Amino acid sequence: MPAAPVVGAVIDFTPGISILINPFTLDSAQLGVLDTNQLGDQPADYVDISSLIKSVSVRRGRNRILAKFEAGSASVDIYDQNGDWNPANTSSPYYGKLIPLRKIQIFADYNGSRYYLFTGFITNYVTNFALGTEEVSRVTFQCVDAFRLLNGAIFTTVTGASAGDLSGTRVTDILDEVDYPAGLRDIDAGDTTLQADPGTTRNALEALRTVEDSELGGFFIDAEGRATFLSRSVITQSLGSVAYTFADDGTGIAYQAATVNLDADQLLNDVTVTRLGGTAQNAQDQNSIDTYFIHSGIREDVLMQTDAVALDMANMILSTRSDIETRIDSIQLNLEDGDDVNRCVAGLNIELLDAVDITKTMPGATSVNQTLLTLGLRHDFSNRKMVTTVLTGESLVHGFLLDSLTQGIIGEDALSY
């Protein structure tokens, strides 16, 4: 039977954004394998710190569908027996290399495969001392993903950003503007044609979020460091083909805890969308207003080309937010039992905006079954626990999918714009 997952990490001291942890090395049986090891444009300079790790914590995604994706973060706690990870130690083999924004990749090895959990940059090296209780000092690497870099890159003009561009083309143009590596991108074409770039002073992350809002799509940094953009049609299609099915009644992957909520936090029954230079487009659900009072949402300065598309967006948001139902906010997966292969793989391999199907039995002989999006991921691994928390929520976009048992129901599922 498989052992429990084993967490590990690699630090890459070379400058730049791309992390090179598997470099091609001539005459090496392990690192000289064609089509397996990576070719680098500079000498490899990395260290595997897996044997030093005490604990790892990863936070990625967003908690609510109307919120933005935030920068992913991670904390890696290691034992420092000899002071090698003290930046001031001139005898350290890493002296001069322990500077902010060196690259780090966190992974878990399980059942013969490696699953990546986080790729980003070390922002702080924090040395911890517990005098009288521990003989070995500990160093904590506080880390953030590439959103940090995009947030710091300010520009005015986006080269090649013309009227009529699809949203995916605009994302590519923005990433080109800040020299984000082409090999670290996964960009959908998109469904919305955009106005010319507004030419205002802003940072790259702000510009990318404007495109995300204009598309009703998703932009985030994935676990391997790829700048990822999903169009609304791809998100809609994923809802008809879920990545994982979880259940507490034996019909899916078992989970250990769940949070179920009924509230009005995401309710919107009065939605206004205004494109840059356009006229405000409003959609309302009077029945919802009569039942729950008015809950307004405003989206401004988005870049679709016409007011008609702005109205389509307002109607789409209204259709997914004007009613209230019991919502499964999160589930927790205990990965300590390596024998449960399906649960371990799900907990290590699931990615943001993957669609999941969840069934939760409730008191009073009722149950809740929902197809939801993965909006956030939390990994908490140590010698005491190995837990992945999946934060979920309803999609802002729905569409009618032929032959889908969940998205192809006449009278319930609407055609997307």
Enter the tokens of residue 184: 């670290």
Look at residues 274, 243, 266, 257 and name the one whose alpha carbon lies nearest to residue 354: 243
Query: Is residue 407 a part of any domain in this protein?
Result: no
Residues 76 and 110 reside in one and the same domain: yes
pLDDT score recorded for residue 46? 87
Tell which of 99, 121, 145 closes a domain. 145
| Residue 42 pLDDT > 60 | no
Average pLDDT over residues 136-154: 94
pLDDT digits (tens, 9 = 90+) for 160-191: 999 999 999 999 999 999 999 999 999 999 99
Q: What is the pLDDT of residue 410?
A: 46
Q: Is residue 1 part of a domain?
A: no
Q: Which range, of 91-95, 110-114, 340-344, 406-410, averages the lowest pLDDT? A: 406-410
* pLDDT band with cut points at 50, 70 and 90 for residue 400: very low
Which pLDDT band holds residue 40 (cuts at 50, 70, 90)? very low
User: Strand 355-362 relative to strand 244-247: parallel, antiparallel, unpaired?
Assistant: parallel
Residue 410 falls inside a structural domain: no
Q: Please choose, from the candidates 367, 268, 370, 392, the residue with its C-alpha nearest in 3D space to the C-alpha of residue 319.
A: 268
- The pLDDT of residue 57: 98
The share of the chain scoring above pLDDT 70, in percent, equals 87
What tens digit of pLDDT does each residue of 290-311 get? 999 999 999 999 999 999 999 9
Which H or E run contains 345? helix 341-349
Whether 21 is covered by a domain: the verdict is: yes
Q: Is the domain of 344 the same as that of 250?
A: yes
Task: With respect to residue 217, please indicate whether it lies within any of the assigned structural domains.
Answer: yes
pLDDT of residue 77: 96
Amino acid 409: pLDDT: 47
Is pTM beyond 0.75? Reply is yes
pLDDT of residue 417: 80
Specify the pLDDT at position 37: 45
Are 90 and 121 part of one and the same domain?
yes
**Is 191 inside a domain boundary?**
yes
Q: 167-177 vs 204-215: helix axis angle to the nearest 10?
A: 170
pLDDT for 295: 97
Q: How confident is the model at residue 31 (pLDDT cuts 50, 70, 90)?
A: very low
Q: Are residues 123 and 36 in the same domain?
A: yes
Chain mean pLDDT for the chain: 89
Whole-angstrom distance, CA of residue 224 vs CA of residue 70: 16
Q: How many domains does the chain have?
A: 4
pLDDT band at 65 (very low <50, low <70, confident <90, very high): low
Same domain, 221 and 351: no
Query: Is the C-alpha dihedral spanning 92, 93, 95, 97 positive or negative?
Result: negative
Please report whether residue 175 resides in a domain.
yes
Q: How do residues 75-84 score in pLDDT, each as one tens digit?
A: 999 999 888 9
Q: What is the pLDDT of residue 30?
A: 41
Q: How confident is the model at residue 230 (pLDDT cuts 50, 70, 90)?
A: very high
Q: Which range among 23-37, 219-233, 271-285, 368-382 shows the weakest confidence by mean pLDDT? A: 23-37
What integer pLDDT is reported at residue 43 of this predicted model? 52
Do 100 and 25 belong to one domain? yes
pLDDT for the residue 32: 47
Instruction: Choose one of 111, 126, 145: the last residue of a domain.
Output: 145
* Same domain (yes/no): 135, 38: yes
Q: Is residue 401 part of a domain?
A: no
Distances (CA, A) of 158 to 54, 137, 167, 216, 365: 44, 47, 13, 21, 57
- 3-state class of 294 per DSSP? coil
- Are 166 and 291 in a shared domain? no
Looking at the fold, whether 41 and 135 belong to one and the same domain comes out as: yes
- Give me the mean pLDDT over the 339-356 stretch: 96
**Which residues, other chains included, contact 236 with Cβ-Cβ below 8 Å and sequence gap of 6+?**
395, 397, 398, 399, 401, 407, 416
Average pLDDT for 378-391: 95
Q: Are residues 354 and 255 in the same domain?
A: yes
- Is the pLDDT at 403 greater than 70? The verdict is no
pLDDT for residue 130: 64
Q: What is the dihedral of CA 59, 65, 70, 76, to 10 degrees?
A: 0
Q: Is the pLDDT of residue 285 over 80?
A: yes
* Domain enclosing residue 62, as ranges: 6-145
For residue 220, report the phi and psi dihedrals to the nearest 5 degrees: -155, 170
Residues 113 and 141 in one domain: yes
Tell me what pLDDT residue 135 has. Answer: 65
Do 279 and 386 reside in the same domain of the chain?
no
